[in-house]
Chain A
Amino acid sequence: MSTPPPSTPTGYLVRQIALKSNGEEIVRASQVAGDELTIGRDSSCAIHLPDLAVDPLHARIRKIDDGHLMIESIGEQPFDVNGRSVNRRELSITAGAELGFGGHRIKLDRDAETGLPAFTVRRVEAVSDSAEDKDAGTVYTLKGLLPGKRMSAWTFAILVLVAFLALPIWSYATYQPLALHKDARRPAGFHADQTWSSGHLSLAHKNLNNNCQACHTKAFVAVRDNACLSCHTQDAHQHIADGGRLLRARGNPEGFAAFQRAVATMFNRPAGRCVDCHTEHEGAGAMPATQQQFCTTCHDGLKSRLPDTRIADAADFGTAHPEFRPTIIVDPTGEKPLLQRVAWSEGLRENDGLKFTHAAHLSKVNGIAQMVHRRADMYGGRSSLECKDCHQVDPSGTWYEPVKMEKSCQTCHSLTFDQVGGTFRTLRHGEPAMVVADLRAYYRSAGPVRPANLSGLARRVPGDAALQSTAADYARAVRFYPTRADQAVAQVFSKGGMCYDCHTVIPGGAASTGGFTVQKVAQNNRYYHTGWFNHKDHTKTDCAFCHAKAETSNDASDLMIPGMNGKGGCRSCHVGESGTHLASVSVKDPVDSGCAMCHSYHMDSGAPWQPKDKRNAAVHRADADRPRLPGEAALR
C-alpha cells in the first residue's frame, strides 16, 4: 500500500472488516480520494453497506478542515453518532466517533500511518434474525412459552398444602378451647377446617356444621362419647345404660370382623362408642331409618351371649320373633285393675268384668239385627250392627276409646223405668246407690191404678162375670205389685234385671246399694306396650280380619286381640324385612317389616321414630363399620 505525502493528506481510508467462519477478522482497506464521501447501500458509495436498513444513498461526509468533518443525511434518514440519532453532525477526527447505520458500526479515527481520517466498518448485527444463534434443544419446545413444569408443580403443591392443610390446622388450633362446651360456637363464617368435612351433618346436628371441634375435640383421637354427652345429657340411650353390657351383647367378632376390630383398635378407634352406630357426615337429611341388622346384631341369639337377660331372642319378624306378650286385665275389681303380661295363645281370656256377646250383636239374622233394620233413623237401614257403632277411635286414630254405656249401649239397653207426661225417667248408670234411691222414691208414691168399673158409679154389663174378672185382675195386681221397693231393687240387680244383663253383680254390699255389689269394669286400651301398633295405618283392613273372634265369640272374656300367629295374627300380612315368612303361613299381600316398624330404640309411649321422607329410608342406612357377626348370614 503506497503512503501519501504526510504534509497534504487528502482523501479517506476505509477499512471493511469481515469475519471468517472461525471468528478471525479479515481487514480489507481501501483509500478514497477527494473531500467528499458517501455512505449507502448503493454499490457506488465509497462506504458501501449491504444493509437493508440503510438507504441507497444514506449520508454524505464533507471535510471542513484538517481536524473536522461534517456528516449529514442525504434523504432525511437519521443515523447514529456516538449512540445519538441525528441528521447532521460535525465530527472531530482527533476525538474520533462511532457511527451507526442499520446493522453496521463505523469507527472514525485518524490513521496513524497516513494521517488520513479512517473509517473502520464492521457488521455488528446478523443479516437476519434466523441467522442468529438458536438453541436447537429448546427452540422447538414450549420452553419459555408456558410456566415451567417444575415451577408450577411447586406452586400448585404449596398452594394446596397451605390452603387445605396449614390453614385448617391453624383454624383448629385457634378455636380448640371451645371443645366440650355445650353452647360454645365458633363465629359464623368460613373456617378453613370445614374444607375437611367429608359430608353434611344430619339435620339434628345442623348447627354444629361450623364447629368441627364440638365433636373432634382432640387431634388424631377418634370421636369419643364425652363429646356426645356434653349435649346429650338427658336423652342418650335409655335402651341400655351399661356400655360394656351392650358390647357383650354384640358378642366377640370372629374371622374378618375380628381382624377389622383389631385394626380399628390399633388405629385408636375403640369399639362401643356412640359413633359406632350414630354415624355422621352422611348428608344433610334427617336421621336415617334403622335397619333390622341394627337390632339383630345383639338380639339374635342374645341369650347365648348374655345368659342373665330377660329378653327373648329375636331376629327376623317373619321367621324368628318370640310370641307376643299382651298386657291383659286379670282382675278388674281392685282400686286399679290388675294387669299382667301373658304370652299370647289361642284361648287366652281376659276378665274385664263385663258380659257381652260380640257374635250375637254382630249377627245379621237375629232379633238384634231386626231391631237395627227397623230403626232406620238411627242405623241408616243397615242389616246389622257394626264395630264402630260401639267402638270409637281416639282423636289420634291410634287406639280406641273405652266403650261408654250412655253412648253405645243405651239406645237399646234403655234404663227407663217411668214416664211422666212425655218424659222418660231413667236409672242412673254407674251409680247403684242412686238407682236404689230412685226406685225407692218411685214406690213410695205409687200403686197400681184402680180400674174404673170396680167403683159403684160405673155402668155395668149385666151379670157379675166381668166385674169378678176385673176384681180378680186388680187383686192380683195389688198382690204382686212391688209395693215394697226392696223387691224392685232386688229385681234390677238379679238375673233378668237391667244391671245383671251386662254387669257381674254379686250379693253382699252396702244397704245403700240394696245389699248388692256391681263389680268394677276395666277396659284395656293398649295391649302391646313394647311394640307399636297404630289402627290408623290399618284402616283399609276390615276389623274382623284381625279381630277374627268377634264374629264367633259370645263371651266377653274371650281375648279379641290378635297375636303374631293364628287367624288374623300379624304374620298374616307382615313378613320379615327382606320378605321372609314361615312355610306354614300363607301370606297374600306381604308387608316387609323390619324391627323399627314396631320397635323403637328409645322407648316411650309414642310411635317408633321413622324418617318423615320415606325416600330417606332407602337412601340412608344407619349403621357404619360395625363388625359383622357369623350368625347374620343365616338371616339373609
Chain B
Amino acid sequence: MASIAHGPDQGDQETAATTENSTTTRSPKPPRRGKVRRDRVSTHEGFLTHKNGRWMKISALLAAGLIALYIFVPLPGQHFGSSWLGYTLGTVGALLILWLTMLGMRKRAITPGRWSLKAWTSAHVYLGLTLIVVGTLHSGFNFAWNVHTLAWALMMVVIISGIFGIWVYATLPQALSANRYDEDGAITEKQMIESLRSLDRQIHDAAQPLDPQSAALVEQSLDEDPFAGNFINRITGRYPRCATRHAAGELRKARAYRPRVADDPVDKIDALLTRKEAMLGRMRRHLKLKSWLQAWLYVHVPVTFALIAALSAHIVSVFFYW
C-alpha cells in the first residue's frame, strides 16, 4: 500500500517524502553535505500503516466475528433488526457512528500521547470500514423505501466518500508534488501567485506601445482572475474561456499578417503570454489536484450530519411505533 506522504494541506512545506525509498530502508551512506537530495529518506508512517496496521487487524477481526455470529448464531426468526443480535448490532453501529464523527472534534484538539491523532485517524478509517458490515448485518438485508434504509444509504454514502478520500490521499499528493517541481526546484503556492504577478507586470510594461485593439486583448489577460472558474472548471482543470490563451492566440493571428520588424513589442508580449499560460496551467493543475483532495469532504461531512439526523429518526421511530 502506498504510504501517504503528508496531508495535502501541508502543500507549502518542502518536505517530499518519497515512495521509492520507503520507511524501512536504512541508508548506509549519510547524505553528502552541500548537496540537497530530493529523494530523502522519510521516517514518515502513514495512518493506513500505523503500528503495522493495528486497527486494520482489529477491524478485520471484528467484522469477521460479526459475520460469523450472523451466520452461525441460530436466531429464532428472520435476521431482523428486532432480534437480539439485531439490537446489539444496531447499538454498536450507532455508537460507532457517533465516535467516528468525533474525529472532527479530535483533529482540532492537538494533543500528543497514546491516542495520537494518527492512531485516531487509523482507527477512524478501519472502524469506519467495519461499519459497512455492522450496518448491513443490522439491516438483515431488508431494504425498502423508508427511514431505516435511508439511514443505511446515507451511512454508505459517507463510507464510500471516505474510501474515495483515502484513495485520493494515497495517490494525489505525489502528483501534487511532481507538479510543483521544475528545474528550479519546488514552487510554493505563494510563489505561484507571485510569479503570475511578476509576469503580469512585465506584460503590462511591454504592452504599452501597442495599438488600442491589441492593448485591449492584453488587458483582458491582465484583468482575468487566475483563481476564477467554477467548481467544474476546478475539478476538470478545463478553462475554455481563458483570456490569456485568447489574447495570445489573437495577437499571434494579427501578427502573422504584419511585416516583421526588428523590435516588435508583440514578440516580447507573445513570449511573456506563453510563459504566463504555462504558469497558469501549472497553477490550475495544482488547483485541480487540491480540489480533488478537498471535494470528497464536502460530501463526507455534511452527509455525516444528515446520517446522524436519519439515525435519530430511525431510533425514535423504532421506539415510537414499538
- Chain A residues with CB under 8 Å of chain B are 41, 43, 50, 52-53, 55-56, 75, 77, 127-131, 134, 136, 139-142, 145-147, 149, 152-161, 164-165, 168-169, 172, 193-200, 212, 216, 219-223, 260, 263, 267-269, 279, 282, 293, 620-626, 628
A145→B77 contact, CB < 8 A: no
Cα distance A159–B308 in the bound complex, in angstroms = 12
* Nearest CB of chain A from residue B293's CB, rounded to whole Å: 10
Asked whether B148 is an interface residue with its Cβ less than 8 Å from the other chain, the reply is yes
Given known contacts A128-B222, A142-B294, A260-B84, A157 and B309 CB-to-CB distance under 8 angstroms? yes
Cβ-defined partner of B305 (8 Å) among A77, A153, A199: A153
Of B14-22, B116-124, B209-217, the one contacting chain A is B209-217
What chain B residues lie within 8 Å of A193 (beta carbons)? 317, 321
What chain B residues lie within 8 Å of A146 (beta carbons)? 231, 295, 298
B231→A142 contact, CB < 8 A: yes
A195→B82 contact, CB < 8 A: no
Cα distance A610–B290 in the bound complex, in angstroms = 63
The residue in chain A whose Cβ has the minimal distance to the Cβ of B81 is A198
B313→A161 contact, CB < 8 A: yes
What chain B residues lie within 8 Å of A222 (beta carbons)? 322
B298→A52 contact, CB < 8 A: no
Query: Chain B: interface residue count, which band?
Result: 35 or more
- Chain B residues with CB under 8 Å of chain A are 11, 74, 76-78, 80-84, 142, 144-148, 150, 189-190, 193, 196-197, 200-201, 203-205, 207-212, 215-216, 218-219, 222-227, 230-231, 234, 286-287, 290-291, 294-295, 297-298, 301-306, 308-310, 312-313, 316-322
What chain A residues lie within 8 Å of B309 (beta carbons)? 156-158, 160-161, 164-165
What chain B residues lie within 8 Å of A212 (beta carbons)? 321
Query: Mostly helix, strand, loop or mixed at chain B's interface?
Result: helix
Q: Which of B207, B316, B320 has the most CB of A within 10 A?
A: B320
Q: Which of A127, A145, A172 has the most CB of B within 10 A?
A: A145
* Nearest CB of chain B from residue A151's CB, rounded to whole Å: 8
The residue in chain A whose Cβ has the minimal distance to the Cβ of B279 is A130
Given known contacts A146-B295, A198-B81, A140 and B189 CB-to-CB distance under 8 angstroms? yes
Given known contacts A140-B286, A196-B146, A145 and B76 CB-to-CB distance under 8 angstroms? no
Cα distance A168–B147 in the bound complex, in angstroms = 10
Known: A53-B215, A140-B287, A145-B234. 10 other contacts (CB 8 A): A52-B218, A56-B209, A56-B211, A130-B226, A161-B309, A168-B320, A195-B146, A197-B146, A622-B77, A625-B84
A134→B297 contact, CB < 8 A: no
* Nearest CB of chain A from residue B309's CB, rounded to whole Å: 4
Cα distance A55–B219 in the bound complex, in angstroms = 12
Q: Which 5 A-B pairs have the closest CB atoms?
A: A128-B200, A156-B306, A128-B222, A153-B305, A160-B309
What chain B residues lie within 8 Å of A198 (beta carbons)? 81, 142, 144, 146, 148, 318
* Nearest CB of chain B from residue A286's CB, rounded to whole Å: 15
A149→B76 contact, CB < 8 A: no
What chain A residues lie within 8 Å of B298 (beta carbons)? 142, 146-147, 149, 152
A127→B200 contact, CB < 8 A: yes
Cα distance A158–B308 in the bound complex, in angstroms = 11
Given known contacts A154-B305, A164-B147, A52 and B204 CB-to-CB distance under 8 angstroms? yes
Q: Which of A128, A169, A219, A220 has the most CB of B within 10 A?
A: A128
Given known contacts A50-B208, A129-B223, A142 and B234 CB-to-CB distance under 8 angstroms? yes
The residue in chain A whose Cβ has the minimal distance to the Cβ of B86 is A625
Q: List 22 A-B contacts (CB under 8 A).
A: A52-B219, A77-B212, A130-B226, A134-B227, A136-B190, A142-B291, A145-B230, A149-B298, A157-B306, A160-B309, A160-B313, A196-B320, A196-B321, A198-B144, A199-B142, A199-B144, A216-B322, A223-B322, A263-B84, A620-B78, A621-B78, A628-B76
Cα distance A293–B318 in the bound complex, in angstroms = 27
Cα distance A480–B193 in the bound complex, in angstroms = 145
What chain B residues lie within 8 Å of A52 (beta carbons)? 204, 207-208, 210, 215-216, 218-219, 222
Cα distance A200–B76 in the bound complex, in angstroms = 20
Given known contacts A129-B223, A220-B322, A55 and B212 CB-to-CB distance under 8 angstroms? yes
Given known contacts A41-B215, A52-B210, A197-B146, A169 and B223 CB-to-CB distance under 8 angstroms? no
Q: Which of A129, A136, A195, A620 has the most CB of B within 10 A?
A: A129
* Nearest CB of chain A from residue B73's CB, rounded to whole Å: 10
